[in-house]
Structure 1
Amino acid sequence: MYDISTRKRALALVAQGRSLNSVSRETGVSRAAIRSWQQRLEPLPRMAPADPGPPAEERAYSYLLGLYLGDGCISAHPRSGYYLRIACADAWPGLMEKCREAITSVRPGIGVYLLQKEGYTMVTSYSRYWPNLFPQHGPGKKHERRIALEPWQRTIVDAHPWEFVRGLIHSDGCRITNWTTRMVAGERKRYEYPRYFFTNVSADIRLLFTDTLSKLGVEWTECARKGTPFNISIARKASVALMDAHVGPKY
C-alpha cells in the first residue's frame, strides 16, 4: 500500500505528460498501480453490508425460529458479526438439511456450514445481523432470561403456526410409541399408541409452544419431573392425528 502523497506525486508526473515507464522508474511504483490510480485516487472504503431487513421467506422463518428457541444460539464473532448455530443430533440427517434450507430461505445467498461435534452437528451461519432476526438473543442461557416474541415475530407465527410448532418439535421434541396394558375379558392385553413430547426447561418457551397448540386445536398436558414442569405431552388420538398431518417425526 502507498500513502496518498505518493499517489498524488505519481499522478502529477503523469499529468505532465510523462510516460508510465518513466514515472514508475522515478517513484518505484508499478505501472499497474499508477494506471489504477488514474481511475481512482482514493481507495474505495470497505463498507459493511447493509442490513437485509425482514426475513425473505416468512414460512421458513417461523420454522427456523422454533429451531432456534429449542436448540439454537447466537454467539459473537471475535472481531465483528455473529454466528447462528443450531444443534442437530447426528441421528437426524434430514433435520440438518431442513435447517440448512430454512436458513438459506430466510437469508438467500448466505453461507451455511456444518461443524461436527460429539454426537451432534452445529448447522452454522455467519451474519452481522442475526440478532436483528432473533432479538431473543442475550447473555446467559435462554431458560435463565425472559423469552417473548416481538410483535412482528408474533405476526409471522400467527400466519404460520404449524411451521413454528414443527421447528420446536424438531429441536426439543419427539414422536414416540407408548404402550399400556388393560384387562379385557379376564385377559391382560397390550396396547400401543403414538405420543408427542416437547421438553424445554424454559417456562416462556413452553408457553409459546402450548399457546400455539391451543390456537390450533391441539390438546396437551404438562408433565412434571420431580415436581417441576418440564414436558408437554400430546397423546389424545385426534390431536396426535393433527400433529402427524402437520409435523410428523424427525428423520
Structure 2
Amino acid sequence: MTALSVREQAVHLLRRGISNAEVARRLRVPQGTVSWWKHQDLAKRNKLPGRKRSACMHCYGDELNRPAYSYLLGLYLGDGHILLPNEYRRTQSLQITCDDKWPGIMDSVEQAMREVLPNNKPCRVRRTGCHDVKAYSNHLTCHFPQHGPGKKHERSIALEPWQQEIVDTHPWQFLRGLIHSDGCRITNWATKTVDGVVRRYEYPRYFFTNTSTDIIGLFTATLDAVGVQWKASIPRLTGQVNISIARKDSVALMDAHIGPKY
C-alpha cells in the first residue's frame, strides 16, 4: 500500500475534526500550511463556510454599479494593473497606485472598488510616497478585459461594447477617473503691461498625459462627447501625448464635474 503524503495525512485528520494547531503539531508542519490545505480541501468539496462569491455581471448576472465602474475603468486605464494568480497568489488582484499627496483621491478609489466589487474588501499597501489600493477577485478580468501581457501602450486598448455603453452614459465619471490617475489641474500665469503697469494674470488649465495613443483616443473622444475643447502636443524627449484643456468655458465645465485633485 502506498504511504500517504503529509498533505493527505493532514486532510484526513482535518476531516475527522482535529484542529489545525493539533494537526500541525502531530505532523510537524507550519500551522499556516495546514490552514491552506484545509481551505483547498473545503473549496474542492464546495464546503467553504460563509464564503461570499465575487460579484460579476457576466458570470452571475449581478447588478453593476455603472457610475462607479466608469470611474474605476478610467483609473485602471490610467494608473492600474491586474495581477493574475500564480504560485504565490491565489486570486487576481486589481492595483491602483495613489500618490500620498492626494488622500481624498485614495478614498475615492477605495470607495469605487467597494461599489463595483461589494463582496470584496479593498486594502491599502504602503509604498514610498504612495499607496497601492488593491482589491482581490477572480472576476477582475471579466470587469477589465483590457488586461493582457506587457505594458498598455505596447498593446491595443479598446473598450468592449458594454463598456462603451457605460462610458457613453457616465462620461464624466470616466473622465474623472482618467484625470485622477494621469491628469492634473494647474494654474498658469502670464504678465501683460497695461498703461505702463505690469499686471499678472492667472488662468487654470487641465492636463492629461499618457503614452498609449488608444487611451488618449478614448479620453479625447469622451471630451468631444461632453463638449470640452482640447489641444494635443507631443514632447520631444518623452514621446508621451499631452492633452491640454485651457479654454475658459471648457475649464469651467471640467471644474463643475471634476475639479482639482484633493
Query: In the alignment, what sits opposite 2:75?
Result: 67
Give, in whole Å, the separation in 1 of the partners of 2:209 and 2:114: 27
Q: Deviations over 1:57-105 (max 9, x none)?
A: 0000000000000000001132443110000000011111100100110
**Cα distance in 1 for residues equivalent to 2:236 and 2:193:** 30
Indicate if the aligned counterparts of 1:95 and 1:170 stay in contact, CA closer than 8 A: yes
Of 151, 159, 169 in structure 2, the residue corresponding to residue 149 of structure 1 is 159
Q: Which residue of 2 aligns with 1:16?
A: none
Moved more, 151-160 or 229-238: 229-238
The 3 A distance-change label for structure 1 pair 178 and 158 is same
Q: Quote the offset at 1:47 in angstroms.
A: 7.1
Which residues of structure 2 form unaligned runs of 5+?
A: 1-10, 17-41, 58-62
What is the aligned partner in structure 1 of residue 94 from structure 2?
84
Secondary structure of 1:225's partner? Answer: coil
* 1:241 and 2:252 aligned: yes
Displacement after TM superposition at 1:186 (Å) = 3.5
**How many angstroms apart in 1 are the aligned matches of 2:184 and 2:213?**
18
Identity over aligned pairs, percent: 53
The match for 2:8 is none
1:177 aligns with 2:187: yes
Q: For 1:129, which of 133, 139, 143 is the aligned residue? A: 139
TM-score (ref. length: structure 2): 0.77
Contact 1:222 1:229 in 2 (8 A): no
Matches within 5 A, 1:51-62: 52-54=55-57, 56-62=64-70
Amino acid at match of 1:202: S
Amino acid at match of 1:239: S
Q: Does residue 193 of the first structure (1) align with residue 196 of the second (2)?
A: no
Tell me which residue corresponds to 2:32.
none
CA contact (8 A) 1:67 1:171 kept: yes
Choose from 172, 176, 194 the match for 1:166.
Answer: 176
Q: Is the 8 A contact 1:56 1:108 kept in 2?
A: no
**Which residue is 2:34 aligned to?**
none
Unaligned 5+ segments in structure 1 are 8-42
Cα distance in 2, alignment partners of residues 212 and 74 from structure 1: 24
Paired residues in the alignment total 215
CA RMSD of aligned residues (A): 2.3
* Structure 2 residue 106 is the aligned partner of structure 1 residue 96: yes
Q: TM-score, normalised by structure 1?
A: 0.80
Q: Which amino acid in structure 2 is aligned with residue 46 of structure 1?
A: N
How far, CA to CA, are the matches of 2:85 and 2:97 in structure 1? Answer: 18
Match of 1:13 in 2: none
Displacement after TM superposition at 1:145 (Å): 0.7
Corresponding letter in the other structure for 2:68: A
